[in-house]
Chains A and B, each alone.
Chain A
Amino acid sequence: GQQLNQSPQSMFIQEGEDVSMNCTSSSIFNTWLWYKQDPGEGPVLLIALYKAGELTSNGRLTAQFGITRKDSFLNISASIPSDVGIYFCAGYRGSNYKLTFGKGTLLTVNP
């Protein structure tokens, strides 16, 4: 099925650095979601975005819903070792909550 274009695929950073990842789509989504997945576990919702242009924060995480509705980014400030994991963007249209996922960004944080 269709997938979102998520980049970068992986990142290796030092503790304390800021991180940015983004997702783009050729079609419009009404809602963008960002998840984090640890090995062997299900994705955990980080941030949900419902309106074009919306900028939302959750602690050190900030995400924005692109004004064109075709993109979103996630920033992590002052990274810490527990930020390690795979981050997925996801979007859906309409009210059926059927998600389209990005391929994920693997984040490694060196202490």
Chain B
Amino acid sequence: GAVVSQHPSRVICKSGTSVKIECRSLDFQATTMFWYRQFPKQSLMLMATSNEGSKATYEQGVEKDKFLINHASLTLSTLTVTSAHPEDSSFYICSASGQGRGYENSPLHFGNGTRLTVT
């Protein structure tokens, strides 16, 4: 079954508003979570790496003030798209890697994604 839960699955917001997306690891502790963005018919592009208890590491070209990431616990990371604009409309996907006994070689599992539409 799913080990990473992402919420909401779809969200429509007005331009200028902020949207928060949650990513939860369901049955393991995730010290690291990743946030990706995917445009139609394209591959996943890494936006940032989220480490529990520390600041996120952003990929080149990703605005950290626009895409706020918080990883406050070992099971939850949030991505907030601030002052959203239509060009921010995309499919956002998180992933998490497990740590601890039994998960040392855990490959990454992905959430089901969030379709953001900014009108």
Contact = CB atoms under 8 A, between A and B. Distances in A.
Contacts of A48: 105, 107
Interface of B is mostly: strand
Interface stretch (A13-21, A57-65, A76-84, A101-109): A101-109
Interface residues of A, number: 22
Contacts of B60: 1
Given A42-B6, A48-B107, A98 B46 contact: yes
Interface of A is mostly: loop
Given A1-B46, A98-B46, A45 B112 contact: no
B43 A3 contact: yes
Contact of A96 (B4, B49, B91): B49
Most buried by B among A31, A35, A42, A44: A42
A45 B95 CA distance: 11
Interface in B60-119: 60, 91, 93, 95, 97, 105, 107-113, 115
B46 A99 contact: yes
Contacts of B45: 1, 101
A2 to B, nearest CB: 10
Nearest to A31: B107
Interface in A17-52: 31, 33, 35, 40-45, 48, 50
Contacts of A103: 42-43
Interface of A: 1, 3, 31, 33, 35, 40-45, 48, 50, 88, 96-99, 101-104
